[in-house]
Amino acid sequence: MTRELWKGNEAIAEAAVRAGLEAYFGYPITPQTEVLEYLSRRMPELGRTFLQAESELGAINMVYGAACAGVRVMSTSSSPGVSLMMEGLSYIAGTEIPAVLVNVMRGGPGLGNIAPSQADYSHAVHGGGHGDYFPIVLAPASVQEAIDLTVLSFDLAEKYRSICMIILDGSIGQMMEPIQMPEMKPIQRKDWEWATNGKMGKRERRILTSIYLDPYAEEVTNLRLLERWKHIQQDEVRYKEYFLDDAEFVVIGFGTAGRVALSAVRAARAQGIKVGLLRPVTVSPFPHKVIDELVQRVQGLLVVEMNTGQMLEDVRLSVKGRVPVEFYGRLGGVVPFPDEVLSEIQRVASSRLSLEVNPREEWFERMMAH
């Protein structure tokens, strides 16, 4: 099959179409808008639903409605817009219905800027909306991976009646890369046993709601969500390994930071430094187990992120103080260069690392010294 040059945002849109996207609701926001624009042309030509909503609040609740009807539905946005969507996302989680949401992250907080950022990691991975729920969160590092994960996201969302979020940043959204598109799947609207699509003389009426007025019933619901999450943790962890077999040091980074780190790791390898890279693809569920295994045979870890160390906390949870963890981050929409990460790898490989230091504080001191 031929490879074509596609822009990340448009590639995600087309991948969703080919995965059977029946309805899209969105609102313009940079650096995500090409998804909306692309689908405004593509969906109507296929006789599918496209609607530009009045706000992200409107968009996510349209997604909520269409998801209740049992169709494959998606919205996309960027950080400030995703904040607005968190209300609806919590309701979708509480109603236990599948929906896909893509966040092309930008610098923040507040209006921030439109440059590539990973500052919404905690927002995505650790909830974001109110209440006890666990979203599946996927983090692509290339346009091809964004395509593959978009297709996967619908399957995961439906399999677990869960939210599936894809977090990427503007650099992947805006970048053009040679990719291979999946085959076009025909729309196959499933007759879900939970969908509120009208009784049509075939069944009793159905109700979809996130309200459980009786605390014991809500507790049962929370436990059901947690039980489902345990299955997801068991079966759906995905990550990429690079040069880990003989690695003495391991860099951990997701998305664009992981991609930049890979260049640095290759350069370090060329200099004879035994370093590898672990790039989580599912940042939720987080690959705790593989980190636990790595900790038993490496001398130290370096976490690289485009935020102040949000995933760092999850890494430290896996490490449990057994090996030193170091951190390097760039903030506010600044993307680290491979040289910067290489310097960090060299520093980590050549210095006496301590278990006692707080990696974020040490990094902060170094940042402020510059």
Partner 1 sequence: MVTTAPNNLVYERPEGFTDTPTHYCPGCTHGVAHRLVAEVLEEMGVLDKTIGVAPVGCAVFAYNYFETDFVEAPHGRAPAMATGIKRVMPERVVFTYQGDGDLASIGMGEIVHAAARGENITVIFINNANYGMTGGQMAPTTLPGMKTTSSPNGRDVETQGYPIRVSEMLSTLDGAGYVVRRSLHDPKNIRLAKKAIRIAFETQIRGLGFSLVELLSTCPVNWNMKPVDALKFVEEKMVPYFPLGDYKLSAGAAQIKI
Q: Residues in the site for partner 1, rule: CB under 8 A?
A: 22-23, 25, 49, 51, 53-55, 57-59, 61-69, 71, 73, 87-88, 91, 95, 196-201, 205-211
Shortest distance in whole angstroms from residue 114 CB to partner 1? 24
**Residue closer to partner 1, measured from CB, 85 or 250:** 85
The answer to whether the CB of 104 falls within 8 A of the CB of 168 is yes
What is the DSSP code string of 140-203? -SSHHHHHHHHHHHHHHHHHHT-EEEEEEEHHHHH-EEEE-PPPPPPP-----SS--S--TTTS
**Residue closer to partner 1, measured from CB, 86 or 304:** 86
**Residue closer to partner 1, measured from CB, 201 or 272:** 201
**Residue 200 CA: distances (Å) to CA of 192, 194, 205, 264:** 14, 14, 9, 60
Label residues 189-204 b or e (16+ Cβ within 10 Å = b).
eeebeebbeeeeeeee
The amino acid that residue 230 corresponds to is: K
**Residue closer to partner 1, measured from CB, 192 or 364:** 192
Shortest distance in whole angstroms from residue 67 CB to partner 1? 8
Q: Which residues have CB under 8 Å from 100's CB, separation 6+?
A: 16, 72, 73, 74, 75, 150, 153, 154, 157, 163, 164, 165, 166
Shortest distance in whole angstroms from residue 53 CB to partner 1? 7
Task: Strand 275-280: give its sheet, edge to edge.
Answer: 239-242, 275-280, 249-252, 300-305, 325-329
Q: Which residues have CB under 8 Å from 367's CB, separation 6+?
A: none
**Residue closer to partner 1, measured from CB, 200 or 270:** 200
E strand or H helix at 309, and its extent?
none
**Residue closer to partner 1, measured from CB, 77 or 171:** 77
The Cβ-side half-sphere exposure at 113, using a 13 Å CA radius, reads 9
Shortest distance in whole angstroms from residue 211 CB to partner 1? 6
Rounded to 5 degrees, φ, ψ at 298 are -120, 165
**Residue closer to partner 1, measured from CB, 69 or 151:** 69
Shortest distance in whole angstroms from residue 152 CB to partner 1? 22
Shortest distance in whole angstroms from residue 183 CB to partner 1? 23
Shortest distance in whole angstroms from residue 298 CB to partner 1? 46
Shortest distance in whole angstroms from residue 48 CB to partner 1? 9
**Residue closer to partner 1, measured from CB, 63 or 265:** 63
Task: Give the whole-angstrom CA distance, residue 370 versus residue 360.
Answer: 16
Which is nearest to 4 in space by CA: 142, 177, 141, 147?
Answer: 177
